[in-house]
Each structure stands twice: as C-alpha cells, then as structure tokens.
A = this chain, B = another copy of it.
Amino acid sequence: MTATDDLTYNNARHAAQSGGTDLKAEPRLRTAVLTCMDARLDPYAILGLGIGDVHILRNAGGVVTEDVLRSLTVSQRLLGTVEVVVIQHTECGMLSVAEEELKLQIRQDAGVEPDFSIEAFSDLDSSVRKSVDLLRRSPFLPHRDGVRGFVYDIRTGLLREVL
C-alpha cells in the first residue's frame, strides 16, 4: 500500500459520506489566495474558509511566478475574483535553500540543470513585498488594488500583514 492508495481509499469514504457539490465555479468571496505548498499550512483552517469561497494557488514559497500570473489572469478575467491574499510563512523551506548547491546537485545527478530559478529567498518580509509588487505591476491583472501580503507564523497560527 502506497500513500496514494491510502488517499484514494479516503476519497471513496468521503464521496460516500459527503458526495460532491453543485456550486458554480466563481469563488463566492471573489478572492484568490496564494500561499506555500508547506504541509503545515492549511489555508482552510487558518482563514476559516468554506467550500466555494476562494481560489487557492500554492507553490514552493508562495511566490509570484509566471504560473501564478497565468492562474490569476484566469481567476480575475474569467472567474470574477478581485482580491488577492499573498501568504508566505515562517520556517519556510525556501528560506534555507542554497540555490547554487541544489543546482549543482541536480547537474551531477541528472546531467542537466534547470534553466528556471529555484526562487529561494533569504528575507521573508522582502519576499512578500517582492511578490505583492509583481502582482500590483502586472498588466495582465485588471484588479490590482486589492492585493495584500502577509506572513503566517507556523508556531502561533497568526497572520501579520506586511503590505
């Protein structure tokens, strides 16, 4: 039994007990949340979210990449969201990544090196600022006034607004 097998078993039980939903695709709160993939950060719990409330985007770090701009373009232009909440967090794995070392490891192991940035960062507040700035300056997003950036404290469960 793999972990994936366990998760599909859980799903069968979930579907039998709760079924699906007949909600439409447009998020009820007209908001998109961008945060980190970190296993310890459950955006539903920390923001009190319900099913259908918001779009949730997650990647390593919760940083703004081309993929995030793509997703938010769709979110705002086709699915009606107007606010963006950026949440990065304390003790993030991306804070301790030695980007050049990791790339060297990959080159030695795989024979090729990624041509993309690992997007490691050394200062949390600066990283949140950078991500929020990238969104506020993106011509692809029609709604840029409602972009706000936060740091989530893994130990206390509290958000702190950066900008």
Q: Is the CB of B45 within 8 A of A14?
A: yes
Q: Is the CB of A102 within 8 A of B116?
A: no
8 Å CB interface, A23-52 against B: 23, 25-33, 37-40, 42, 44-49, 51-52
**Which of B25, B33, B146 has a CB less than 8 Å from the CB of A40?**
B25
Closest to A59 in B: B71
Given A2-B83, A94-B74, A157-B14: A38 touches B55 (CB 8 Å cut-off): yes
Given A4-B85, A71-B59, A146-B4: A159 touches B11 (CB 8 Å cut-off): yes
Q: Is the CB of A154 within 8 A of B21?
A: yes
**Which of B15, B85, B110 has a CB less than 8 Å from the CB of A140?**
B110
Q: Is the CB of B60 within 8 A of A58?
A: no
Q: Is the CB of A91 within 8 A of B25?
A: yes
- As for how many copies of this chain the complex holds, the number is 2
Given A74-B118, A83-B2: A39 touches B47 (CB 8 Å cut-off): no
Q: Does A162 contact B (CB under 8 A)?
A: no
Q: Which residues from B are CB-within-8-Å of A142?
A: 109
CB distance from A137 to the nearest CB of B (A): 12
CB distance from A136 to the nearest CB of B (A): 14
8 Å CB interface, A143-163 against B: 146, 148, 150, 153-159, 161
